[in-house]
Amino acid sequence: MQTAIDNGLAASPTAIVEKKNEYLGLNVFPNPVMNTAIVNYTLTKSASVSIEVINILGEKVTTILLGTKSASNQEYPINLESLSNGIYFVKLNAGETNRIIKITVSH
């Protein structure tokens, strides 16, 4: 019998084990990005999905609402041609879960 703990761990009578995340997988390629990045992500169940591009100061520079997506592997291209060279973060929001990956834009 396991009891959920708020920090993402589950307790059992013999061990503490990490719970698996509902949504898995985020990759952005190519990295460094020249003009267009491909965001590849995997959902294990349907969820409302959005993608944000955040600059090094923590400011959102792009938000893309993708709507509800089914459980599967998905790809979405993002045009980053208008961004200055530098380091950015791509944040995938899927339901109540999010993942962030660092990218470099270099034109």
pLDDT tens per residue, range 17-75: 444 545 558 999 999 999 999 999 999 889 999 999 999 999 999 999 999 999 999 99
pLDDT at 94 over 70: yes
Residue of higher predicted confidence among 3 and 56:
56
Rg of the Cα trace of the chain? 16
Q: What single-letter amino acid sits at 48?
A: S
Note the pLDDT of residue 23: 52
Note the pLDDT of residue 25: 82
Note the pLDDT of residue 96: 87
User: CB–CB of 101/28 below 8 Å?
Assistant: yes
Maximum Cα interatomic distance, the chain, rounded to a whole number of Å: 55
Q: Whole-prediction pTM value?
A: 0.77
Distance (Å, whole) CA 97 – CA 23: 7
Tell me the backbone φ, ψ of residue 11, rounded to 5 degrees. Answer: -100, 140
pLDDT mean over 76-102: 95
